[in-house]
Amino acid sequence: MPEASIASAGPVDPALIEDLVAASRILAQHGVLDAWGHVSMRHPNNPERYLLSCARAAGLVTADDIMEFDIDSNPVDQRGRRMFLERYIHGEAFRARPDVNAVVHSHSPTVIPFTVTDEPLRAVSHIASFLANGCPCFEIRDVGLTQGLLVTTKEQGAALAKVLGNNPVALLRGHGNLVVAGDIPRAVHRALYTEMNAQQLATALSFRKPIKYVQPDEMQDPKRLIDAWEIWKHEAMKDMK
């Protein structure tokens, strides 16, 4: 792909970039992002742009790694930097969901078992009540076979966004999940507690007794529950040198 030449949507408040970097670091520190997952945010000046690091492990991302992409996932200013092949997951989620300003794609360890069985991943803890309606699961073979199960085209990204629908989380069979939210702290909250809830549900299922899932009418207001950002960021950034 030739280097694109598109005008930037303009500089971004360094505090927002710091939060995007912190999100990568937090999710890496908690084991939700391995060496390959990524977090992005919609550009605050232009809804047709988004910000995502160059291809680098989440635990090493710094502000200098953040790149700008257009909604088709073309880089605005590549400068030779390697890009995530799966950035279309982000671009197409931003396109399909105007309410979404932050996107996480992870290989969340305990989410995988739910992607390869038809055991539903639903909320058992109120902190994961955003999962009260369950998670749809994306089967990439419905779109066409791909090497390594990767989502590497706009068409695949759009098909995944369609499966996501209005949900906060979609599963990818044999691969991981897609987590979206209105802002970075809430996306981090959802990514962390999708993993935690998966662990708790797996234990509950092992008892072989009926499960009392959190009910839709018990969901927390999605505007709540971001106090935790202070400690998550504190702990992730003190590791950063």
Where in the sequence numbering do the catalytic residues fall?
86
Candidates 10-18, 44-52, 56-64, 93-101 — which segment interacts with a second copy by CB under 8 A?
56-64
83 near a second copy, judged by CB under 8 A? no
Site for a second copy in 92-111 (CB under 8 A): 107, 109-110
The continuous run of DSSP H or E covering 229 comes out as helix 229-238
Cα–Cα dist 219/127, whole Å: 9
Among 16, 36, 70, 77, binds a second copy (CB under 8 A): 36
Burial 58-79 (b: 16+ CB within 10 A, else e): bbebeeebbbbbbbebbbbebe
Closer to a second copy at the Cβ: 50 or 130? 130
Beta strand segments in 23-174, E: 38-42, 49-53, 66-70, 102-106, 137-138, 169-172
210 near a second copy, judged by CB under 8 A? yes
Extract the tokens encoding 20.
């995007």
CB 146 within 8 A of CB 152: yes
64 near a second copy, judged by CB under 8 A? no
The continuous run of DSSP H or E covering 161 comes out as helix 154-164
Among 4, 35, 63, 240, binds a second copy (CB under 8 A): 35
216 near a second copy, judged by CB under 8 A? no
Among 16, 150, 158, 237, binds a second copy (CB under 8 A): 150
CA–CA distances in Å: residue 165 to residues 137, 144, 178: 11, 20, 11
Closer to a second copy at the Cβ: 12 or 104? 104
Query: Would you call 52 helix, strand, or coil by DSSP?
Result: strand
59 near a second copy, judged by CB under 8 A? yes
214 near a second copy, judged by CB under 8 A? yes
Number of amino acids touching a second copy (CB under 8 A): 62
Site for a second copy in 153-182 (CB under 8 A): 173-175
5 near a second copy, judged by CB under 8 A? no
Q: Give the strands of the sheet with 176-181, arranged side by side.
A: 66-70, 49-53, 38-42, 102-106, 176-181, 169-172, 137-138
Q: Taking the complex as a whole, how short is the minimal distance between the CB of residue 62 and a second copy, in angstroms? A: 13
Q: Which residues of the chain form contacts with a second copy (CB under 8 A)?
A: 34-36, 55-57, 59-60, 107, 109-110, 112-113, 116-119, 123-127, 129, 145-150, 173-175, 196, 199-207, 209-214, 217-221, 224-225, 227-228, 230-232, 234-235
